[in-house]
Structure 1
Amino acid sequence: MADILPIILLGLAGFLLGGVYATWKTARGLAVLLAAAAVLAVAGGIGWLYWG
């Protein structure tokens, strides 16, 4: 599981960024929250790759 988790987190970040793109014009508040979650997922995935 430890080998797959960074890939899952980076994939989740891509999914969240797609949500940001889709909701930006209609619900900016939600888009900002999705962007923050995507940044955390990327940071977690990269951190897990280097220090996990």
Structure 2
Amino acid sequence: MLAVVLCAVGGVLLGGAWSLRSQGARRPAIVVVAVLGVIALAAGVLWLFPHGASS
């Protein structure tokens, strides 16, 4: 369940970054929102892996 929520949040943040870009926002704001989106999406994907599989 948490993986789905994290992927959804990541998608919303990445969509927000795209929207900010199209509205002409300043670059630092776009980068911050995009990086947070990528982190949330990566966390959602990593959460799907079995625990202990990385060791």
What TM-score, normalized by structure 1, do the two folds share?
A: 0.82
CA distance in 2, matches of 1:48, 1:36: 18
Determine if the alignment matches structure 1 residue 44 to structure 2 residue 46: no
C-alpha displacement of 1:27: 2.3
Identity fraction in percent: 33
Gaps of 5+ in 2: none
CA distance in 2, matches of 1:38, 1:51: 23
Determine if the alignment matches structure 1 residue 21 to structure 2 residue 26: no
Kindly indicate which of the two structures has a greater share of residues assigned to helix.
1
C-alpha displacement of 1:34: 0.6
C-alpha displacement of 1:42: 1.1
8 A contact 2:13–2:36 mirrored in 1: yes
What TM-score, normalized by structure 2, do the two folds share?
A: 0.79
Gaps of 5+ in 1: none
- Aligned letter for 1:16? L
